[in-house]
Structure 1
Amino acid sequence: MNCDEFVELVTAYLDGALEPADDRRFVEHLAECDGCDRYLEQIRTTVAALGHLPEQSLPADTRDRLLAAFRDWPAG
């Protein structure tokens, strides 16, 4: 697994949603890569800090503009 694949799978890993083979590859990469180890810790810290914030509703037009912007975001 390379670092790009690792970053793409972080959310699934934290959710416990990886297939066993992908989970194994993820953990193996994590053991070898200090940069990805730090990245995973940053994501965990962010989730812990922001995970308790209440959900606020966006005005419908703002939500639609955000969704459209990310839908058109370059994939790679």
Structure 2
Amino acid sequence: MKRFSCDESVELVTAYLERELDQVTAGRFEEHLGGCEGCERYLGQFRTTVTALSELRPQRLPDDRRERLLSAFRDRRTS
């Protein structure tokens, strides 16, 4: 069976963390991690980032700033 490349593994990180990979693919992913320190480190960094971001609470923008931002998006879309 062909081993995953690092590029293939990086593409699967989100699906792996969300437990969306089938058993065979998850096994191959974990096998790659076991032999690749860089991908193992990347997965750890990704987990840390997800955890940190999940602790953030949304903050409401002041109405004038929100309107300027929305206006900029609208202008960019029509350009």
TM-score greater than 0.5 by the shorter chain: yes
Q: State the 1:21 CA deviation.
A: 1.0
Provide the residue aligned with 1:34 in structure 2: 37
Distance between the aligned counterparts of 1:42 and 1:11, measured in 2?
Answer: 12
Q: How well do the aligned residues superpose, as a CA RMSD in angstroms?
A: 2.4
Larger Rg computed on CA atoms: 2
Structure 1, gaps ≥5 residues long: 69-76
Q: State percent identity of aligned pairs.
A: 52
Report how many residues are paired.
65
Structure 2, gaps ≥5 residues long: 61-65
Q: Deviation string for 1:26-65 (max 9, x for gaps)?
A: 00000000000100000011011111223468765639x6
- Runs (4+) of structure 1 moved beyond 6 Å? none
Match for residue 23 of structure 1 among 23, 26, 30: 26
Normalising by structure 1, we get a TM-score of: 0.71
**Which amino acid is the alignment partner of residue 13 of structure 2?**
V
**Which amino acid is the alignment partner of residue 10 of structure 1?**
V
Match for residue 48 of structure 2 among 45, 48, 65: 45
